[in-house]
Structure 1
Amino acid sequence: MSVKQEDAVKRPIANFPPSVWGDQFLVYDQQEDQSGVEKEVEELKEEVRKEILQALNLPTEHTNLLKLVDAVERLGVGYYFEPEIGQVLQHFYDAYGDKWTGGATSVWFRMMRQHGYFVSSDIFNNYKGKDGAFKKPSDDDVMGLLDLYEATYLRVPGEVILDDALAFARGRLDDISKDLSLTNSIVSKQIQEALTQPLHKRVPRIEALRYISFYQLKPSHNKPLLKLAKLGFNLLQSLHKKELSQICKWWKCFDVPTNLPYARNRLVESYFWSLSVYFEPQYSESRMFLAKVFAVATVLDDTYDAYGTLEELEIFTDAIKRWSITCLDILPKKIKLIYQMLLDVYGDMERILLKMGKAHHLNYVREAMTEYVRCYLKEAKWANDGYIPTAEEHKEVATTSGGYKFILIASFAAMGDVITDETFKWALTMPPLVRACCVIARVMDDIVTHEEEQERIHVASTIQCYMKEHGVTQQYAYALLNNKIEESWKEINHESLKCKDVEMPVIMRVINLARAMDVLYKDKDHFTHVDEELINHIKSLVLDAVVV
Structure 2
Amino acid sequence: MDALMKEIDVLKPEVKNTLMFSQGIDSTKKRILMIYLLRSLGLAYHFEEEIYEILEEGLEKIEEMMAGEDDLYTVSIIFWVFRSYGHNISSDVFRRFKGMDGNFRESLKGDAKGILSLYEAAHLRTTTDHILEEALSFASSHLESLATGGTCPTHLSMRIRNVLTLPQCWKMAIVAAVEYVSSYEQKDHDEMLLKFAKISFKVVQLQYLQDLEIATKWYKEVDFASNSPPFFRDRIVESYFVVLAMFSEPQFSRQRIMFTKFFTVLAILDDTFNRYVSLPEAESLANSFKRWAPDHAMDQQPDYLKFVFNFILDTFQEFGKELRPARTPYSVKATIEEVRTLVKANFDLTKWAQAAHVPSFEEYIWRGYVTNAVNCYMKQYGVTKQEAVRELHIMVEDADKTINEELLTTIGVSRLVLKAAMSIAQMIAISYNGYEGFTHPEGKTKEYMTSILVHQFRL
Scaled by the length of structure 1, the TM-score of the pair is 0.79
Partner of 2:434: 523
1-side partners of 2:120 and 2:353: how far apart?
A: 42
* Paired amino acid for 1:76: G
Which SS does the other structure have where 1:276 is aligned? coil
Q: Is it true that 1:109 corresponds to 2:20 in the alignment?
A: no
**Displacement of 1:331 after TM fit?**
4.8
Q: C-alpha distance in 2, partners of 1:97/1:256?
A: 59
Separation of aligned partners in 2, 1:99 and 1:195: 30
Distance across 2 between alignment mates of 1:499 and 1:59: 34
- Alpha-carbon offset, residue 91 of structure 1: 0.8
Structure 1: how far apart are the matches of 2:250 and 2:325?
19
What does residue 52 of structure 1 align with? 19
Residue 196 (str. 1) matches residue 162 (str. 2): no
Deviation per CA, 1:412-440, whole angstroms, max 9, x where unpaired?
Answer: xxxxxxxxxxxxxxxxxxxxxxxxxxxxx
User: 1:187 Cα deviation (Å)?
Assistant: 2.1
Letter in 2 for 1:53: M
What code does the residue aligned with 1:287 have? R
Match of 1:70 in 2: 36
Q: What letter corresponds to residue 543 of structure 1 in structure 2?
A: V
Query: Which of 284, 290, 308 is the aligned partner of 1:315?
Result: 284
- 2:315 is equivalent to residue 345 of structure 1: yes
| Deviation by residue 1:326-356 (Cα, 9 ceiling, x = unmatched) | 9875653111111222123212221221111
CA distance in structure 2 between the partners assigned to 1:121 and 1:319 by the alignment: 52
Q: Which residue of 1 aligns with 2:130?
A: 160
Corresponding residue for 2:387? Answer: 476
- Aligned-residue offset at 1:99: 6.4
Alignment of 1:145-156 (within 5 A): 145-156=115-126
Which residue of 82, 91, 107 maps to 2:57?
91
Aligned residues: 453
> Contact 1:99/1:123 (CA < 8 Å) preserved in 2?
no
For the pair 1:37 / 2:4, whether they are aligned, the reply is: yes
> d(CA) in 2 for partners of 1:117 and 1:475?
37
The 1:58–1:526 alpha-carbon spacing in structure 2 relative to 1, beyond 3 Å, is same
Note the alpha carbon deviations across 1:104-132, whole angstroms, 9 max, x for none: 01001111111111111111100101111
Q: Conserved in 2, the CA contact under 8 Å of 1:237 and 1:545?
A: no
> Deviation of residue 138 (structure 1)?
5.0
Q: For the residues of structure 2 that align with 1:249 and 1:178, how far apart are their CA atoms?
A: 46
Structure 2 unaligned spans of 5+: none
Give 1:45-444 correspondences, 5 Å limit.
45-55=12-22, 58-96=24-62, 100-101=66-67, 104-137=74-107, 141-182=111-152, 185-219=154-188, 221-259=189-227, 260-324=229-293, 329=299, 331-397=301-367, 399=368, 402=369, 442=370
Q: Take 1:305 and 1:211, find their aligned partners in 2: how far apart are those partners?
A: 39
How far the C-alpha of 1:98 sits from its partner, in A, is: 9.0
Deviation sequence 1:290-348 (CA, Å, 0-9, x none):
11111221111011011111111111112112224798756531111112221232122
Letter in 1 for 2:378: M
For 2:109 and 2:84, how far apart are their aligned partners in 1? 29
- Return structure 1 stretches of 4+ with deviation > 4 angstroms: 325-331
Which whole-Å CA distance do the structure 1 matches of 2:124 and 2:99 have between them?
23
Q: CA 1:79/1:181 → structure 2, altered by over 3 Å: closer, same or farther? A: closer
d(CA) in 2 for partners of 1:339, 1:125:
58
Name the aligned partner's letter for residue 276 of structure 1.
A
CA shift, 1:526, in A, is: 2.3
* CA contact 1:124–1:161 (8 Å) conserved in 2: yes
Contact 1:98 1:120 in 2 (8 A): no
Which of 482, 498, 513 pairs up with 2:409? 498
**Is the CA contact 1:241–1:543 (under 8 Å) kept in the aligned structure 2?**
no
Q: CA RMSD in A?
A: 2.0
Contact kept? 1:113, 1:497, Cα under 8 Å: yes
CA distance in 1 between counterparts of 2:434 and 2:295 reads 44
TM-aligned CA distance change 1:41 to 1:180, over 3 Å: closer
Q: Is the 8 A contact 1:137 1:145 kept in 2?
A: no
| SS of residue in 1 equivalent to 2:61 | helix
Contact 2:28 2:54 (C-alpha < 8 Å) held by counterparts: no
**For structure 1, which segment, 78-87 or 275-284, has the greater mean C-alpha deviation from structure 2 after superposition?**
275-284
2:377 to 451, 462, 466: 466
Please say if residues 463 and 477 of structure 1, whose CA atoms lie closer than 8 Å, have aligned partners that are also in contact. yes
**In the aligned structure 1, how far is the partner of 2:123 from the partner of 2:294?**
48
Please tell me the residue identity of whatever aligns with 1:482. Answer: H
Cα separation, 2, equivalents of 1:326 and 1:316:
8
Aligned AA for 1:155? R
The separation in 1 between residues aligned to 2:280 and 2:119, in whole angstroms, is 52
The CA deviation string for residues 147-189 of structure 1, in whole angstroms up to 9 with x for no partner, is: 111100000113211101111111122232342444x832222
Q: What SS is found at the alignment partner of 1:360?
A: helix
Structure 1, residues 20-40: CA drift from partner, whole Å, max 9, x if none? xxxxxxxxxxxxxx2222111
Q: Distance in 2 between matches of 1:261 and 1:148?
A: 48
Separation in 2 of the partners of 1:543 and 1:147? 29
- TM-score, normalization by structure 2: 0.94
SS of alignment partner, residue 128 of structure 2: coil
Q: Whole-Å Cα distance in 2 between the matches of residues 119 and 470 of structure 1?
A: 39
What amino acid sits opposite 2:270 in the alignment?
D
Superposed counterparts of 1:439-450, under 5 Å: 442=370, 446=371
Q: Which amino acid in structure 1 is aligned with residue 320 of structure 2?
A: E
Q: CA 1:144 to 1:257, structure 2 compared with 1: closer, same or farther past 3 Å?
A: same
Distance, in Å, in 1 between the alignment partners of 2:285 and 2:25 is 63
What percent identity do the matched residue pairs reach? 29
For residues 227 and 208 of structure 1, what CA distance do their matches in structure 2 show? Answer: 13
